[in-house]
């Protein structure tokens, strides 16, 4: 025990705030990852969650400040993410573009567009600052989305803080993960989506409009990534900054693969990666020898993904037709 | 194109652009990107003509700016070659950034550890940089060859791992301990001690006042020649091209596909690693910092695609992007238009190259003359 407490690890692990921030970190990852599951299950590779998230974050702040309403900010975030997904879906499905090239393009475009617009809209003063509740909000401040603190339950020792002092979007995310799992594996439409991604020719023969279904399946991935960006902007940071998603879209991609293209699996992987991030943040603030190695701890999600992909922790097999454009006219 | 669904190689093989000849798609992609970028500038309330004029002036106005444009393009040439080379074996190497970082870390390590004159140290540093990148690329190549791990994801994850390793090596910990490779007592952002030798400036000051164009350009050009030579004049190059065009046929023809893929990633990584070396040894502060790369490895994807995955094309595309990078900083300073315009243009260029159906559609309407290969494909469709 003393070895643990000396390293700072034990103090960190025993602190409920570690688990609270694990769920906080896992929220945007899960939203983007389960959205991507739908897209990839339909056969459209989506590596553009990073860009869709970033676009969502910018437009969340933009709409929030202009309309003085955080909920409308979230709607704008989802719409912006959805539009980026629409561009990706259009080129990937209808134009049969290489989906990875298209995804990279969306990521770069979103990075450039949001930074460019932030500079052009907010100038050298920088993006607006968050509004802190007790003081009345002025016109150009960001209305944030405060955490819920569920009375009665939040007082439970240990888990109260972890599960019952969270952002409303966290609870929304939990519901969405369950709904998407049910949708994909327990509904006819979900079966059709999976058929389009496993064997589009057979799905087409069975009367499914593969192209339309694929295009529509890309959209939720953008909408949920946009929501994740809105969460980062309005619930976590309270503002927009250039490249503020800082790789979360790629971690969500990793989580989706780690979770074997399955909503529950992806959610589990997001918890793991969220834990990695929370551990990193907490270790940095906990005195002990491990503090010096916190940056190396942060590499764990990436290393684990490589290990998982290499088949050392069970084989990660994508949907059979994932990434292959479908051409109804070809007889291949 | 008949491919078994689920074939790992189907994804890359669908990407016919790399093999199509002619300049119609790259040139049209750039023009369309400039056009759409102009609309974005207009919507954001700036004047696109001013923006592009300032961009052009910033990039090519006077010998100093031309020299600076080339300085910006040197790492892009090498990372671009890294992406292009892997493409030839059918692999999409989006890990040039990580390979660049590992090359920079390896070469910086020998640069302050070995107290040798430049004539010995520079070759050692070049070898160390190439090795660092090659190891990082090789990991992805070997995992693809042995375990079938998709290189897009592994290289992406290796990017973040390499960047974090560099942060670990340089940045002071929360307790204030300097990073293992950081120079103690440096104000500002952390860096390694300065290198014991540097790449010389190759333009005399009589030609360009305060010019910074360094010998890294020669390294990049030599790498491009090496790229071409290996690909077209060696049996390894033949194998790489065969695997890239059709891995099943290559395997049937007796080529060890896995080994060829791994080697191609090893060589690709070495190119990017050299990019890291020239970034450390070529420009001030002649030391490894965490901010030496503004994303050279990510821009490399656009460079390789725009350069049609050829050596000469990558060099030319790198100069174009170098011009965008350098020109945009002056554009922001002089005209107050955000330099992030560059990423918008890059994103759009990649988008139009990927969605080459758009350019083909213009060709069908007679608005663009498509090269013969594409015309035949269109006629067959």
Q: Which pLDDT score, from 0 to 100, does residue B3 have? A: 31
Which residues are CB-contacts of A142 (< 8 A; sequence separation ≥ 6)?
Answer: A61, A64, A65, A73, A128, A129, A130, A131, A233, A234, A238, A239
Tell me the chain A residues in contact with residue B87 when contact means C-beta distances shorter than 8 Å. none
Residue count (chain B): 381
Q: Which pLDDT score, from 0 to 100, does residue B205 have? A: 82
Interface of B with A in 75-134 (CB under 8 A): 92, 94
Tell me the chain A residues in contact with residue B6 when contact means C-beta distances shorter than 8 Å. 320-321
Using CA coordinates, name the residue in chain A closest to B142. A310
Q: Which pLDDT score, from 0 to 100, does residue B364 have? A: 74
Closest Cα in chain B, distance from residue A313 (Å): 12
The answer to whether residue A97 is domain-embedded is yes
Using CA coordinates, name the residue in chain A closest to B167. A295
Segments forming the whole domain that contains residue A251: 7-148+162-309
Q: Which pLDDT score, from 0 to 100, does residue B373 have? A: 65
Mean pLDDT value across residues B315-335: 93
Helix, strand, or coil (residue A247): coil
Tens-digit pLDDT profile for residues B289-315: 999 998 899 889 889 989 989 999 999
Both tokens assigned to A28:
């945007």
Tell whether B187 is within 8 A of chain A (Cβ).
no
pLDDT at B119 over 70: yes
The answer to whether residue A319 is domain-embedded is no
Q: Which pLDDT score, from 0 to 100, does residue A5 have? A: 47
Helices (H), chain B: 10-13, 24-43, 48-60, 62-88, 96-113, 118-147, 151-170, 216-233, 235-245, 247-252, 257-282, 296-306, 311-335, 341-354, 357-364, 372-380
Q: By mean pLDDT, which of B184-188, B230-234, B255-259, B366-370 is the weakest? A: B366-370
pLDDT at B21 over 60: no
Count how many domains chain A has: 1
The answer to whether residue A258 is domain-embedded is yes
Q: Is B358's CB within 8 Å of A95's CB?
A: yes
**B46, B266 contact by CB (below 8 A):** no
Q: Which pLDDT score, from 0 to 100, does residue A205 have? A: 92
- Predicted ipTM? 0.88
Both tokens assigned to A90:
């259009």
Domain ranges for chain B, please list them. Answer: 74-308
The answer to whether residue A323 is domain-embedded is no
Q: Which pLDDT score, from 0 to 100, does residue A36 have? A: 96
Closest CB to B351: pick one of A91, A296, A324.
A91
A59: domain CATH number is 1.10.3470
Q: How large is the greatest C-alpha to C-alpha distance in chain B, in angstroms?
A: 68
Residue B368 CA neighbour count, 13 Å, CB half = 24
More confident site: A131 or B50: B50
Tens-digit pLDDT profile for residues B248-292: 999 999 999 999 999 999 999 999 999 999 999 999 899 999 999
Cα separation, A51 vs A110, in Å, equals 5
pLDDT at B142 over 80: yes
Average pLDDT of every residue of chain B:
88
Q: Which pLDDT score, from 0 to 100, does residue B10 have? A: 40
What is the percentage of chain B residues whose pLDDT exceeds 70?
Answer: 90
Closest CB to B354: pick one of A105, A287, A302.
A105
Both tokens assigned to B87:
């493409």
Q: Which pLDDT score, from 0 to 100, does residue B9 have? A: 41
Which residues are CB-contacts of A309 (< 8 A; sequence separation ≥ 6)?
Answer: A257, A316, B143, B147, B149, B150, B153, B154
Both tokens assigned to A131:
């509004």
Number of Cβ pairs < 8 A linking chain A and chain B: 180
Tell me the chain B residues in contact with residue A210 when contact means C-beta distances shorter than 8 Å. none
Closest CB to B11: pick one of A284, A296, A323.
A323
> Which residue shows structure tokens 């298209």?
A102
pLDDT at B103 over 50: yes
Q: Is B46's CB within 8 Å of A97's CB?
A: no
Burial of residue B49 (number of CB atoms within 10 Å: 0-12, 13-18, 19+): exposed
**B94, B140 contact by CB (below 8 A):** no
Q: Which pLDDT score, from 0 to 100, does residue A15 have? A: 79
Q: What is the mean pLDDT of each run of 10 residues along chain A (332 residues)?
A: 56 81 95 97 94 97 92 97 97 89 93 93 83 77 86 79 86 97 96 94 93 96 98 94 91 88 94 87 75 81 83 72 84 57
Closest Cα in chain B, distance from residue A39 (Å): 16
Give the closest residue to B120 by CA, choosing from B110, B135, B129.
B110
Tell me the chain B residues in contact with residue A96 when contact means C-beta distances shorter than 8 Å. 14, 357
Return the H-helix or E-strand segment holding A272: helix A263-284
Closest CB to B350: pick one of A99, A108, A250.
A108
Cα separation, B16 vs A331, in Å, equals 18
Q: Is A108's CB within 8 Å of B343's CB?
A: yes
pLDDT at B185 over 80: no
Burial of residue B60 (number of CB atoms within 10 Å: 0-12, 13-18, 19+): middle
């Amino acid at each position: 025990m003393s070895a643990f407490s000396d390293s700072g690890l034990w103090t960190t692990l025993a602190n409920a705030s570690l688990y609270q921030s694990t769920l906080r970190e896992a929220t945007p990852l899960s939203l983007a990852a389960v959205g991507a599951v739908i897209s990839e299950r339909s056969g459209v590779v989506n590596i553009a969650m990073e860009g869709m998230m970033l676009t969502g974050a910018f437009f969340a702040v933009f709409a929030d400040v202009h309309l003085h309403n955080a909920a409308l900010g979230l709607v704008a975030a989802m719409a912006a993410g959805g539009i980026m997904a629409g561009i990706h879906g259009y080129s990937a499905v209808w134009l049969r573009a290489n989906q990875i090239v298209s995804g990279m393009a969306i990521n770069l475009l979103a990075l450039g567009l949001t930074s460019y617009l932030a500079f052009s809209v907010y100038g050298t003063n920088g993006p607006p600052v968050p509004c802190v509740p007790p003081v009345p909000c002025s016109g150009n401040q960001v209305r944030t989305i405060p955490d819920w603190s569920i009375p009665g339950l939040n007082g439970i020792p240990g888990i109260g803080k972890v599960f019952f002092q969270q952002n409303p979007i966290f609870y929304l995310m939990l519901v969405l993960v369950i709904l998407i799992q049910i949708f994909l594996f327990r509904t006819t439409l979900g079966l059709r989506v999976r058929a389009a991604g496993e064997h589009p020719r057979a799905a087409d023969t069975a009367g499914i409009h593969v192209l339309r279904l694929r295009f529509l399946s890309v959209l939720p991935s953008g909408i949920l990534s946009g929501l994740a960006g809105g969460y980062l902007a309005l619930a976590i940071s309270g503002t927009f900054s250039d490249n503020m998603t800082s790789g979360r879209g790629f971690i969500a991609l990793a989580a989706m693969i780690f979770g074997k293209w399955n909503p529950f699996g992806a959610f589990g992987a997001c918890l793991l990666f969220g834990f990695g991030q929370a551990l990193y943040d907490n270790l940095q603030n906990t005195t002990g020898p491990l503090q010096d190695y916190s940056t190396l701890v942060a590499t764990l999600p990436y290393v684990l993904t490589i290990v998982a992909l290499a088949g050392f922790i069970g084989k990660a097999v994508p949907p059979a037709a994932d990434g292959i454009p479908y051409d109804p006219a070809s007889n291949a | 194109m008949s491919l078994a669904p689920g074939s790992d190689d189907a994804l890359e093989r669908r990407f016919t652009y790399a093999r199509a000849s002619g300049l119609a798609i790259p040139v049209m992609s750039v023009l369309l990107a400039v056009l759409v970028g102009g609309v974005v500038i207009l919507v954001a309330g700036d004047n696109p003509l001013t923006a592009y004029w300032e961009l052009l002036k910033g990039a090519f106005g006077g010998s100093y700016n031309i020299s600076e444009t080339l300085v910006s393009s040197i790492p892009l040439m090498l990372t671009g070659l890294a992406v292009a080379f892997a493409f030839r074996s059918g692999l999409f190497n989006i890990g040039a950034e990580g390979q660049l970082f590992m090359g920079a870390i390896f070469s910086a390590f020998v640069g302050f550890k070995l107290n040798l004159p430049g004539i010995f140290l520079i070759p050692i540093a070049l070898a160390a940089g190439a090795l660092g990148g090659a190891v990082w690329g090789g990991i992805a190549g070997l995992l693809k060859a042995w375990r079938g791990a998709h290189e897009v994801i592994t290289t992406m994850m290796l990017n973040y791992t390499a960047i974090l390793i560099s942060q670990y090596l340089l940045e002071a910990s929360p307790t204030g301990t300097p990073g293992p490779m950081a120079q103690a007592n440096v104000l500002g952002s952390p860096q390694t001690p300065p290198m014991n030798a540097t790449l010389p400036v190759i333009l005399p000051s009589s030609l360009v006042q305060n010019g910074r164009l360094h010998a890294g350009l020669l390294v990049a050009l030599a790498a491009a020649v090496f790229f071409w030579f290996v690909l077209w004049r060696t049996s390894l190059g033949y194998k790489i091209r065969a695997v890239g065009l059709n891995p099943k046929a290559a395997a049937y023809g007796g080529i060890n596909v896995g080994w060829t893929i791994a080697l191609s990633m090893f060589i690709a990584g070495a190119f990017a690693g050299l990019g890291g070396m020239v970034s450390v040894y070529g420009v001030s502060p002649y030391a490894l910092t965490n901010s030496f790369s503004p994303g050279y490895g990510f821009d490399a994807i656009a460079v390789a695609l725009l350069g049609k995955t050829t050596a000469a094309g990558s060099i030319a595309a790198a100069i174009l992007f170098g011009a965008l990078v350098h020109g945009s900083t002056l554009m922001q300073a002089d005209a107050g238009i955000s330099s992030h315009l560059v990423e918008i243009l890059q994103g759009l260029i990649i988008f139009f190259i990927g969605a080459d159906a758009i350019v083909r559609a213009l060709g069908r309407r007679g608005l663009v003359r498509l090269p013969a290969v594409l015309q035949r494909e269109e006629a067959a469709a």
